[in-house]
Amino acid sequence: MTDYNQISKSIKTKAKSLGLLECAIIPAEFLSEEKEPFQNWLNKDMHGEMSYMGRNIEKRLDPRLLYENAKTIIVVLQNYFPGKTQIDTEAPILSKYAYGTDYHFVMKDKLKELLQFIQDEIQPCNGRPFVDSAPVLERAWAKKAGLGWIGKNSNLISVEQGSYFFIGELILDIKLPYDDVKLVRDHCGNCTKCIDACPTKAIVANRVVDARKCISYQTIEIKGEIDKTLKGQFENRVFGCDICQDVCPWNLKSEPHNEPNFKPNSKLLQLTKEEWQSMEKPLFNELFKSSAVKRAGLKGLKRNLEFLKKT
């Protein structure tokens, strides 16, 4: 295929057929604007125990060092906003992103299918999908692709979609027709709802989150004990946290996804407070066998549940 306009259109049509929310095609290059703020964040130890964040810094900033002969990055978004949420208002709250099948697998499969399409229909090439599991600054690439701006809570926010979406990338060793990108200006204005609502005050500056104070970090990333100084501040969040997104006015635009893999087990949404607290291995495996919650394991989930109990 040699028609540049048709190439771009066909790739985006394929991405849409895969259920992806957005698709942008941009050149692989050095992220010069990200170097200083990212290094400052690391220097202040705001990444906590996530030591991997401090490794491969140059690769994070330049995908050409991460993937040999990288020339093009295709950035995609995948909606995960659920149509239904947990029923028991007193039950421990699970982050919406963890309702269904682990997004790493779902999105990588879609990106592999998109890669196969490009190889078969556009041009022979090599490529690799990335979904939040390699040194790639995903929000920076999505912003650079014109898919949104970085909000005060450090999430990518889209005028059309809000922020309840995953970001993925397909890095290729061929040049494709690049989008004529128009960067999205910051639409947060004087709004501070996310900053005000964060119960642990993890948003320490505009677009800066101290992971050590973040409920998501404490309930997912750390392997030892949860920070005792944060006791009583989790607002019943057992795995992850959506508070800064829930209060964001731009998420009033969020529409429920239609991705079958993200559809939650009905039993999960019906789980009572008592059933959460008494959960054992059989129920855990039934509810979370393909979920991101498996990352914590039953032991980690029980640690989180115990932390939520009032002293």
Q: Are residues 234 and 151 in the same domain?
A: no
> Residue 3: is its pLDDT beyond 60?
yes
Q: Are residues 73 and 122 in the same domain?
A: yes
Give the pLDDT of residue 1. Answer: 54
Q: Are residues 28 and 118 in the same domain?
A: yes
In-domain check, residue 177? no
Full DSSP string of the chain: ---HHHHHHHHHHHHHHTT-SEEEEEE----GGGHHHHHHHHHTTTTTT-GGGGSSHHHHH-HHHHSTT--EEEEEEEE---S---S-TTSPEEPGGGSSS-HHHHHHHHHHHHHHHIIIII----EEEESSSSS--HHHHHHHTTS-EE-TTS-EEBTTTBT-EEEEEEEESS--PPP---PPPP--TT--HHHHH-TT--EEETTEE-GGG-HHIIIII-SS---GGGTT-STTEEE---HHHHT-GGGGG------GGGPPPHHHHH--HHHHHT--HHHHHHHHTTSGGGGTHHHHHHHHHHHHS--
pLDDT bucket at 86, cuts 50 / 70 / 90: very high
Average pLDDT over residues 189-197: 97
Q: Are residues 13 and 127 in the same domain?
A: yes
* Percent of the chain predicted with pLDDT > 90: 94
Give the pLDDT of residue 2. Answer: 59
Domain boundary among 116, 142, 172: 172
- pLDDT tens-place string over residues 25-77: 999 999 999 999 999 999 999 999 999 999 999 999 999 999 999 999 999 99
In-domain check, residue 91? no
Q: Are residues 11 and 158 in the same domain?
A: yes
Q: Are residues 80 and 146 in the same domain?
A: yes
Q: Are residues 238 and 206 in the same domain?
A: yes
Domain boundary among 120, 139, 172: 172
> Residue 272: is its pLDDT beyond 80?
yes
- pLDDT tens-place string over residues 204-214: 999 999 999 99
Q: Are residues 142 and 291 in the same domain?
A: no
**Domains: count for the chain:** 2
Q: Are residues 156 and 215 in the same domain?
A: no
- pLDDT tens-place string over residues 227-237: 999 999 999 99
Q: Are residues 210 and 300 in the same domain?
A: yes
Q: Are residues 168 and 292 in the same domain?
A: no
Q: Which residues form the domain of 64? A: 4-84+101-172
Domain boundary among 137, 172, 207: 172
In-domain check, residue 29? yes
In-domain check, residue 179? no
Q: Are residues 50 and 144 in the same domain?
A: yes
Q: Which residues are catalytic?
A: 132
Give the pLDDT of residue 149. Answer: 98
